[in-house]
Amino acid sequence: MPDDTSAADPVAAYLSAVQDRYEGSAAHKDLHRWASDFEERGGGSEYDWMARSLIDVPPLLAAVGAALAEHKAVRIYEPCDHDHTDEDVAAGRAVDAFDFISCEELYLYTICRGCCGFAGTMNGQQTEECAAEHDHGRCYPCPTRVAITTALLGEVPDGDRS
Ligand SMILES: [Zn+2]
Ligand SMILES: [Zn+2]
Ligand SMILES: [Zn+2]
């Protein structure tokens, strides 16, 4: 299925800006050494605390990134009557809907890979429960995605309400 992660995604852009600011510090490569010295010295200056705090940035970014990768958009399509090939997908004439190839016009709705798909499978094959029982207007963004997005941006951008 198509991957909706793009440079236009405001959450991805925000996280990338955080990463850039972290790496923008000329000292960031020394931070880990500084922070381990800090433990030995038993704390100290304000700079020690800043260094210690900055090395928390990469694992926090990784944690948020992992959650977002799990709770991401998967577009669901109805099968079309054509006999598409992978070349049609590559040329943008058709879309890969995981177990079949369809036309973009037959897009139905967007679900969450983590909440409405089988975890750990390909791109998140839709569960029967989602297909039969979910209100698809609420499948994506899911509560996890909304919580992360709201915490980072203060609101859920319109573009994430597909
Ligand atoms: Zn989800
Ligand atoms: Zn078609
Ligand atoms: Zn669903």
Q: Model confidence over 84-119: pLDDT tens digits?
A: 999 999 999 999 988 899 999 999 999 999 999 876
Residue owning tokens 């790496």: 23
Predicted pLDDT at 66: 95
What span, in angstroms and rounded, lies between the C-alpha atoms of 11 and 96? 25
Q: How close is the Cα of 128 to the center of ligand 3, in Å?
A: 9
Instruction: For residue 134, give the ligand nearest its CA.
Output: 3
- Measure the CA–CA gap between 41 and 49, rounded to whole angstroms: 12
Place of tokens 């381990």: 36
Distance from the alpha carbon of residue 73 to the mean position of ligand 3, in angstroms: 11
pTM confidence score: 0.76
Percent of all residues in the chain with a pLDDT value above 70, rounded to a whole number: 86
Ligand 3 center from residue 114 Cα (angstroms): 9
CA of 82 to the centre of ligand 2 (A): 4
Ligand 1 center from residue 111 Cα (angstroms): 8
The CA-based angle 155-97-79, given to 5 degrees, is 115
Q: Cβ(59)–Cβ(109) under 8 Å?
A: no
